[in-house]
Amino acid sequence: MIEIDCTEMDLDDQLGLASAVSDALGGRGVALVKDAKLVIDAVSALAAGDVAAAVRAYVAKRADASHYSVETEGDVIKVHTPDPLARSRGRRDTGELLPPNLMKCPFCGFVTPYKELYDIHFRSHGFMM
């Protein structure tokens, strides 16, 4: 199964990518959003290279295309964005959409990869851990 890892993209960009990839495949497959990734439902034989080319074409049309990168690892295509925290912007959550090495303050949006610094910051809001 071919999968596009676009967890760094916000939902609007994911839907745009799914539409562009489905159009580029011309009926040979359909890109479907599953969790924070896209999976390709292939109607006929499809190579990961065909899907990767469609993803690269979508990224190339963006105004900030030079800040994006697309990597292929077997049947997984990863899209890296210039702002990997875009998914969590504007949300009041505990950071479940962040990369696993980052922690986000649920009160103000402070982000850090360091547990000790996060603990100190969290306590500054008046809560004890």
Phi and psi at residue 127, to the nearest 5°: -110, 145
CA distances from 52 to 24, 26, 91, 96 (A): 11, 14, 30, 27
Q: Percent of the chain beyond pLDDT 90?
A: 27
Phi and psi at residue 124, to the nearest 5°: -65, -15
Output the average pLDDT for the chain.
83
47-72 b/e with 16+ CB inside 10 Å = b? ebebbbebbbebbeeeeeeeebebee
89-118 b/e with 16+ CB inside 10 Å = b? eeeeeebebbeeeebbbeeeeebbeeeeeb
Instruction: With cut-offs at 50, 70 and 90, classify the pLDDT of residue 128.
Output: low
Write the pLDDT tens digit of every residue in 41-78: 887 788 888 899 999 999 999 888 888 889 998 889 99
Write the pLDDT tens digit of every residue in 117-127: 999 998 898 87
- Span between the terminal Cα atoms of the chain, in Å: 43
pTM: 0.64
81 CB-side CA count, 13 A: 18
What ranges do the domains of the chain cover?
A: 3-80, 91-124
* Contact predicate 41/30, CB 8 Å: yes
Angle at 41 between CA 40 and CA 43, to 5 degrees: 125
